[in-house]
Structure 1
Amino acid sequence: MDLTINQLKKKSLEALKGKWGIAVLLTFLIFLITTFVPMIAEVYASGGFETWANQTETPLIADVINIFFSFLFIPLTTASYWFYLVVARWNDPKISQVFAVYKNWELSLKVIGTAILMGIFTMLWMLLLIIPGLIKGISYSQAFFLLKDNPEYSALEAITESKKRMKGYKWKFFLMNLSFIGWVFIAIFTLGVGFLWLSPYIATTNANFYNEFIFPQGNEEKKSIDLAI
């Protein structure tokens, strides 16, 4: 019998026992790096803090820097999702494994390519209507987890496989993430500090969703992948 949303969340809390410290630390580190590294680079490129603070409009160099770091950090944030996959599988996660993603440049480029394709496909669907675009975004949501378990997949194969395996689970995935909305408001009222704990909770629940409903299909004999998007 499939696990309910409450059972998935309870299982996630159990998996996080004894790992909250490292999970909160990782969340904090990712926040610091993705927030302040681009800011420091932008200040330096602007000619100093005073010039940066007094500028009335965003210069072109700042836009270029932000775009560069947006792509650069995609493998890092993806590897942080994989960190919680380790947690959900009751293994011993290490923060060093998150940053080690850059050692495999081929995988890093594949992750970036996957993110770009997902963005393009979702945007194209949203040009029709917002709802179809959101549905497609949910359909593609398992692509990064699938890349972790199937590194031989191309970016397009991971997206297509996610779309195929999410059939019948999109509504449950949506409701599962929506169920955290109350905690999101509470985290906001704590001036964002609560997200240090909420983010690992949500990420581990999403990893458990993948383990429960998506990954088991990967144990079957691999079938030919339909590349139709």
Structure 2
Amino acid sequence: MRLSISQIKKKALASLKGKWGISAALTFIIFLISTILPGIVEVILSGGVTEWANQTDTPLIADMVNILVSFLFIPLTVATYWFFLVIARWNNPKISEVFAVYKQWELSLKVIGTSILVGIFTILWSLLLIIPGIIKGISYSQVFFLLKDNPQLSALEAITESKTRMKGYKWKYFLLNLSFIGWAFIAVFTLGIGFLWLAPYVSTANATFYNELIAPQDHEDAKSPDLAI
């Protein structure tokens, strides 16, 4: 049965029952890491708080290290997606499991490489026009969920599989995420505090979308062309 957008959101809310606290806590932790860590790196590499406060340009080394940190942060971001997939499947995730992704260094490297490829492919399509880039970005949106369920897939295979399985679902995926825009405006007026609950809602809805519509598709029916792009 193909669920409607409202049904997907209702399922997401139902699966989040009793898990709002841990979901908001994880969202806050990820926010702190992603915003504070780059600042700490910049201060240290600038020579201290005084030097950092008086500088007009960020040191090149600080920019380079922050780029490296952003790549290292990718597995944590993806593991956060998986955290909400666990919730969408009516299980009880732990925040420690999100950080445990770094214990699987091969998987972490694959996730980083896949993210880079997705970014390159999306940028290449965007060079043609913005709309094709957006469409392709949506086509690749299921890559990391597929890697979670099928860790044997290579980066290119996961990208191709996502593109194939999203046929007929891209518009629904777009409308699903667009439906949260009103909540986003409300969250802004709460000085951003509302995002601690909105982000888990959106993430669980997207995980539910995958779990209900994308994951059930048979591998035998999916074609695997040579070029993932």
| Corresponding residue SS for 2:58 | coil
| Corresponding residue SS for 1:192 | coil
The answer to whether structure 1 residue 17 and structure 2 residue 17 are counterparts is: yes
CA shift digits 1:117-148 (9 cap, x unpaired): 00000000011000000000000000000000
The answer to whether structure 1 residue 82 and structure 2 residue 89 are counterparts is: no
1:203 corresponding residue in structure 2: 203
Aligned-pair identity (%): 72
| Corresponding residue SS for 1:225 | coil
The answer to whether structure 1 residue 117 and structure 2 residue 117 are counterparts is: yes
Q: Distance in 1 between matches of 2:108 and 2:118?
A: 15
2:91 corresponding residue in structure 1: 91
| Deviation at residue 227 of structure 1 after TM alignment | 3.0
| Corresponding residue SS for 2:191 | coil
1:162 corresponding residue in structure 2: 162
Q: Distance in 1 between matches of 2:213 and 2:70?
A: 30
Q: Distance in 2 between matches of 1:222 and 1:101?
A: 31
1:178 corresponding residue in structure 2: 178
Equivalent residues of 1:146, 1:162 under 8 A apart: yes
Equivalent residues of 2:142, 2:162 under 8 A apart: yes
**Amino acid aligned to 2:210:** Y
The answer to whether structure 1 residue 226 and structure 2 residue 220 are counterparts is: no
Aligned residue pairs total: 228
The answer to whether structure 1 residue 144 and structure 2 residue 144 are counterparts is: yes
Q: Distance in 1 between matches of 2:49 and 2:202?
A: 36
| Deviation at residue 67 of structure 1 after TM alignment | 0.4
Equivalent residues of 1:126, 1:132 under 8 A apart: yes
**Amino acid aligned to 1:216:** P
Equivalent residues of 1:156, 1:227 under 8 A apart: no
The answer to whether structure 1 residue 66 and structure 2 residue 66 are counterparts is: yes
Q: Distance in 1 between matches of 2:220 and 2:110?
A: 24
Q: Distance in 1 between matches of 2:224 and 2:136?
A: 18
Q: Distance in 2 between matches of 1:200 and 1:118?
A: 23
CA shift digits 1:21-74 (9 cap, x unpaired): 100000011111111112111111111012112211122012112201110100
**Amino acid aligned to 1:209:** F
Q: Distance in 2 between matches of 1:93 and 1:111?
A: 20
Q: Distance in 2 between matches of 1:4 and 1:134?
A: 22
CA shift digits 1:201-224 (9 cap, x unpaired): 000000000011110014x54766
Q: Distance in 2 between matches of 1:102 and 1:44?
A: 24
Normalising by structure 1, we get a TM-score of: 0.97
Q: Distance in 2 between matches of 1:166 and 1:221?
A: 15
**Amino acid aligned to 1:24:** A
Equivalent residues of 2:86, 2:92 under 8 A apart: yes
Gaps of 5+ in 1: none
| Deviation at residue 80 of structure 1 after TM alignment | 0.3
| Deviation at residue 225 of structure 1 after TM alignment | 2.4
Normalising by structure 2, we get a TM-score of: 0.97
- Segments of 4+ moved more than 6 angstroms: none
